[in-house]
Amino acid sequence: MKRVIVFCFLIFHNLYVVFSQNISYSLQKLQSDYPGQHVIITQKKEHLNIYFQNDSLKLKTNYFIECIYLSNKAGSYSEESLVYSQLNPIQDIKASTFIPTKSSKFKEIKVKDFKTETHISNKVFYDGYKTISFIYPSLQEGCKTTLSYIKTHTEPRIISPFYFQDDFHMLYSEYIVTTPQEVEIHWKMFNITDSSYHFSKTKNKNTITYTWRVYNSKRIHPENSMPAVRYICPHIVVWIKSYTIGSNKITLLNSLSDLFRWYSSLIKDAQKEDSDEMRNLVDSLTQNIQSPLEKAKRIYYWVQQNIKYIAIEDGMQGFIPRPAKTTCEKRYGDCKDMATLICKLFSYAGLKAHPTWIGTREIPYQYHDVPTPLTDNHMIATFKTDGRYYFLDATDQFIPYNLPSSFIQGKQAMIALSDDSFEIVDVPVVDCSQNVYTDSSVLFIEQNIVKGISNNILSGYYKSDFLHNLENNKKDLKIFMREYLNKSTNKFVLDSLRILYPEDKENPITNIYHFNIENYLQQNKNELYINLHLDKDYLQYEIEKDRKYDYEWEYTSTLKYSVVLNIPKGYAAQYIPENSRYDNRLFGFEINYQYNENQIILTKKIYNNHLLLKKKDFEDWNTMIRELKKSYSEIVILKKNN
């Protein structure tokens, strides 16, 4: 193994010398070719070494990256950090700054101070990760930096993807896998064409080396609401199917069944221990209830409201759930702990809930394409009754039992039917008819001030989003609600508010409020002008012509508005806008006006029934937005009677 590491280092060193010999030319050429860019990655390399040691399979990866700095902002990139866990510890880290000299050579300044500390995550309470941080010294325009280290992989089923693209332009990237001939690997390429990379496979007496090379990868330009990077960035996922030691063949991830068997072995003990407390709890929750679905709801909502979700991922503990009895007693747990507890409590009620592995929407892989732990990062429970699947995710405090979490819509779920059998099921995308924001207002004009009474009704993900925001609100409730309900004017004043929480969690939540808007009504002699579009949704959502990536939404949606204008005494309608509509298979709107002697009624519906707006649909989307803007600009004219 030492010979392999030394060999890799010599390769990296020799390639570095090649770049170094042409630094003055390279710098000028790069500044000319990439104006406005501050950093270029000249080379990025990873070499995964798979080898045998004492009849055990071992994995280590050599990492190397070299950057050149093109502008006087180089110093702002001097801070660097690496994150690792006990699953993949880091060793032999080396970093240097190379400062150009008058002789076209470089002066190397090595980094001497590497600081290791606990990694703090915004999403995970404790994940066991550590951060190694350091500063490249004397970084300035024309400098280069190098970073190399070795990472050990303690679980051979978990091999990180290699990305051929970065936040910076990359001149050369290379991924190498060297294995004994007794090891069978497989790989899958994403977002990359056959012509854009160079692949080679070489054999010697004992090993096989696979190499993928990509030249001149453009940087990723982030855009708002773009899909996760793995949907965009060219990358490769490699996994070990099997290996042979002597006459023994050990299968790791030859098929999806192998992944399931491994997962099943990790959770097999979590539900074994019985508990009188849990049994009595289930009895009290389901007493006098015959319906299996009603029993399931009672148990699920108890876990959701009484077990605090705390993400805890520490090495293999990120895969192995704690005993259901422990989670119930401590009243907290992570996703797999809560899923395991749900399954155990269901069993006391005579019901069968199934542990389920699933990836969130930031992961693009399908289980049959990538049968590895990279395909999922979450765990829930699944309950099936009357031919319908219920995907129970108690980590979301406000999701009703009949909706999946928004971040698993459209994803594949691996459902454990028993210790040795499973099925793959697609989680449905919730239709826009279930995620409805409704606002119904009645307007009065008093002394040229617009006053209103409104009912705001939230269902589906609109409801759960509102409750999450309300839970996390740090402001005065009235200030928060004024911002939430605000109309398309800064003159909106919330006078009073009442929030009606439904007894049944599947039902909508209702906000009843009174408001006034000064200076909203315009007057010219004997005419009054008013725009009944108090809410102008999607006004700023026209997509730029140069946008590169698809546009992602958290969930589908339907917006419904009705505005009833009570015509003030002595006035009549002189002009009422025409009705308008736009229909598309994915999105659209309908706006209608009605008029009677005393009232003008505006009804508006906007639907958005997709999670990912493809580039091919941008033109149609922008057409809809432009039509919507036209409708928003229309005003009602009231004229005073003679």
pTM of the model: 0.91
* 544 and 613 fall within a common domain: yes
The token pair that represents 555 in the structure block: 């969930």
Q: What CATH number does residue 39 fall under? A: 2.60.40.3140
* 88 and 185 fall within a common domain: yes
User: For the segment 17-68, what is each residue's pLDDT rounded down to a tens digit?
Assistant: 334 333 334 788 899 999 999 999 999 999 999 999 998 999 999 999 999 9
Choose one of 251, 270, 302: the last residue of a domain. Answer: 251
* 71 and 205 fall within a common domain: yes
What's phi and psi for 448, nearest 5 deg? 65, 15
Mean pLDDT by 10 residues, the chain (642 residues): 34 38 62 93 97 95 97 95 90 96 87 85 56 95 96 96 94 97 97 90 95 94 95 97 94 98 96 95 96 97 96 74 95 96 98 98 97 97 96 96 97 97 98 98 94 98 97 92 92 96 95 96 94 96 96 98 96 96 97 94 98 97 98 96 82
Choose one of 426, 450, 468: the last residue of a domain. Answer: 426
What's phi and psi for 223, nearest 5 deg? -130, 150
* 445 and 404 fall within a common domain: no
Strands 353-358 and 412-418: antiparallel
* 99 and 22 fall within a common domain: yes
Domain limits for position 128: 2-251
pLDDT of amino acid 119: 60
* 438 and 478 fall within a common domain: yes
| Mean pLDDT estimate for the chain | 92
User: For the segment 75-97, what is each residue's pLDDT rounded down to a tens digit?
Assistant: 999 999 999 888 899 999 999 99
* 109 and 202 fall within a common domain: yes
* 17 and 104 fall within a common domain: yes
Q: Tell me the helix, strand and coil percentages in the chain, rounded to 5.
A: 25, 40, 35
Element (H, E) at 639: strand 636-640
Q: What CATH number does residue 505 fall under? A: 2.60.120.1130
* 588 and 442 fall within a common domain: yes
**What is the distance of C-alpha 101 from the center of its chain?**
46
Q: What CATH number does residue 344 fall under? A: 3.10.620.30
CA atoms within 13 A on the CB side of 487: 28
pLDDT of amino acid 196: 86
- Of 415, 384, 388, 406, the residue nearest 264 (C-alpha): 415
Residue 373, classified by CB atoms within 10 Å of its CB into exposed (0-12), middle (13-18) or buried (19+), is buried
* 40 and 119 fall within a common domain: yes
Could you give the number of structural domains in the chain?
A: 3
Choose one of 364, 393, 426: the last residue of a domain. Answer: 426
Cα–Cα dist 423/404, whole Å? 18
* 546 and 585 fall within a common domain: yes
Element (H, E) at 498: strand 492-500
pLDDT of amino acid 128: 64
pLDDT of amino acid 495: 96
* 119 and 218 fall within a common domain: yes
Distances (CA, A) of 479 to 514, 579, 601: 14, 35, 29
Give one DSSP letter per residue of 242-276, joined into a string: EEEETTEEEESSSSHHHHHHHHHHHHTTTTTS--H
